[in-house]
A and B are shown apart, each in its own frame.
Chain A
Amino acid sequence: MRKTFYIIAILLFVGAGAMAQGMFGVSYDIGISLGETANFVSPTSFRGIGIEGRGFINDNLTYGGSFNWAVFYEEVGPQEWELDALEEGSGEGTAYGKQFRYINSFPIMATMHYYTGQWDETRFYFGAGVGAQKIDQRTDIGLYTINDNTWRLGFAPEIGVLIPVNFNSALNISAKYQYALKSGDSDAVSYLSFKIGFAFM
């Protein structure tokens, strides 16, 4: 947790520093789980936020940092679940109950974006983030909890649009593909994130 705090603090510091010659954004994120992530938790996540800072390299290029938090949740059952035999060769165990499944995804990325057009008009952009993703995956069944918390390498290509609201703020709408690599026995985590927020110049 402390590690996460330091990384976020550094990113915010970089983002705040970049503000004088860039922008700072907050967003509400909606996540659609994909692949193996959808097998674990299929419902769309409406619980997500993001913050980011971008600094200008030139009129069309920015560098920056971003932090997001997406919460995926699904309640499954009650139904029967197969268990490994308590003792090898002794039988096949079965458990019946509800499973409560959670994924908390915390992508912390260094980003770069390219923009079309001029700053006083609607600008389309595309870019990508590379960095770390903290994935907390949890299954609660009965009074028991199975936790799988790992740091992963992650990347996130993104396309979006900035629509000016006034001279120093813009509506920021984008779609981002979040991908955290497989780690040990833990499956890769991927989801499509739709973001709507404000960018302050």
Chain B
Amino acid sequence: MYTFFKSSLLIILALFALAGCYPKGPEYYSDIDLTITDYDMNYDFGAQRQYYMADTIAFSTNIEDNELDEISVAKLLEAIERNMEMRGYERLTNSEIYKADFVLTVSVIATQNVQAGFVPFPPYYPGWGWDIGWGGYYPPYWGGYYAYSYTKGSVIINWWDPQIKPSDLSSKKQQPIHWLAALNGLVSDSKNSNTTRVENGIDQAFKQSPYIKSTL
């Protein structure tokens, strides 16, 4: 029986060791940045040239102060305009909006998530570390209370055609989107870092969309 207890002790030590070296996964905010693009294959991106993009963006959030302080909107719009210019498109001013071949709209969504709970025992089960590993407070290894919050942020760019009237739309009654870019990630405390990540994401969105190129 003594041997059995000795063996059990070894198992417990081995489990502790394994739990301790479980792969951590993402370590930096940029590790979970995601850039998604999709486009309308029937749309002729080359036959367009002038576009309108407002100087403001739509912002939606569940955060109380309702202020977009986490990124620089001006730099975000500059990054889009710079990429569009490199692809041969011309941005119009407010007074020229009637000439636009297409419109780009930009929106930002920020969602704050708050969680609290209790971990009664060492978290052996795989996957545990991932779910609460973001900018939060880790409970001690022997268990305990924890609390953490994180904010998910998304920047969404839509490319659509202002010439289409509601009466021209299909039964879906939705404005057709010809190109969609969505940048998704976690919002950090650093405005500079967030802005740089968004700028990189915008550059990547264009890089993975080679079909966006004006031939006019």
Give the B-binding residues of A (Cβ under 8 A).
1, 16, 19, 24-26, 28, 46-49, 51, 69, 71, 73, 75, 78, 80, 83, 85-86, 89-98, 100, 102, 104, 136, 138, 140-145, 168, 198, 200-201
Contact = CB atoms under 8 A, between A and B. Distances in A.
A140 B25 contact: yes
A24 B4 contact: yes
A72 B97 CA distance: 55
A104 B126 CA distance: 7
Contacts, number: 109
A92 B14 contact: no
The secondary-structure label for the interface of chain A is: strand
Given A92-B39, A95-B34, A97-B32, A47 B21 contact: yes
Interface stretch (B5-13, B77-85, B86-94): B5-13
Contacts of A94: 36-38, 208-209
Contacts of B130: 140, 145
A102 B34 contact: no
Contact of B25 (A46, A97, A100): A100
B31 interface: yes
B154 to A, nearest CB: 9
A154 B35 CA distance: 39
Contact of A142 (B6, B32, B41): B32
A55 to B, nearest CB: 14
A100 to B, nearest CB: 5
Given A26-B14, A49-B14, A142 B22 contact: no
Contacts of A69: 18
